[in-house]
Structure 1
Amino acid sequence: MGVGPDDLGRLFDAHAAALILYARQWREGPEAEDLVQDAFVALARRPTLPDQPAAWLHRVVRNAALSARRGSRRRKAREASVGRPEGDAWFAAVDDRLDAREAAAHLAGLDPEAREVVTARIWGGLTFEQVAELQGCSTAAAHRRYKLGLARLLERLERPCPSTNPTP
């Protein structure tokens, strides 16, 4: 019978934004959105829903992103004059409690494994077991990476903010 449009719509509404954020670890702007769209197309072609659709979608996006990154590196090596604009934020909108660009910069400053687990866990809503499977490590390693990533983010975010109104 295949995956129905109602299931696809429900899953898209529930997971697309988090998947785009997740994909932006490796690809920027429209490329990240294309990866997510391709993942949902792959899901639509499946005969049945996977047991854990969110984890399955994260895996498909990750594999496609890593494959695209490898291809991009090879292409860049051949075409040294081709550059890619930097600076796309990983956030779609500025949260009024946190400067999105600053948060994206802090997140980008994490090592890739910690950044991936923090993004997948917080914005993707994946369990540590799902993240561990995604990264090919133990659940304990995924948890350690998560705690380390959060600790580093907290260190950076707790630095004193510059004040626009000096206190007398």
Structure 2
Amino acid sequence: MEPERLGELLDRHAAALELFARQWCDTPEDVVQDAFLKLAALPTPPDEPAAWLFRVVRNGAMDASRAARRRRKHEALATRSAAWFEGPDSDRPVGTIDPEDAADALRALPDEEREVIVAHLWGGLSFDQVAGLISGSSSTAHRLYSRGLSALRERLGVTCRKTRRNPS
């Protein structure tokens, strides 16, 4: 399809397509953009490009909605604090942190710090492996980990337990 024709379709239908997509998903702009990219990639344009765009946007918006629902479900399962931290309050020893507070503090961290902490502590990855995950160095992974732990300690009001050295 010629760029001029694609531009005309975009000018004429983009706003209506976004409104149409908004019925099903929270990312209508992305869905509309994907539809126009698919249209531009077609070897031959459809006979009725506007109808084609509406159909592709509808399908894309419904797919985006299902994906968002799945993502929220997986995130909810992954962020259950009891699974991350400790059992219910009745099982918790005196002086330990509340699992909900810990989960909230973890969620409040910047994404990079949270990613490193979860990968290292719960995923069991070494700092070298975490470095590959974040496309950085192991020292960067360690720095993010340390900064994140410091932020967690500060937010939760706990200090790091220091081990006592036995005099030898």
Which structure carries more relative contact order (alpha carbon 8 Å, separation 6+)? Answer: 1
Q: Quick check: which one's helix share is greater?
A: 2
Query: Same fold by TM-score, threshold 0.5 exceeded?
Result: no
TM-score by length of 1: 0.44
Q: Between Structure 1 and Structure 2, whose CA radius of gyration is higher? A: 2
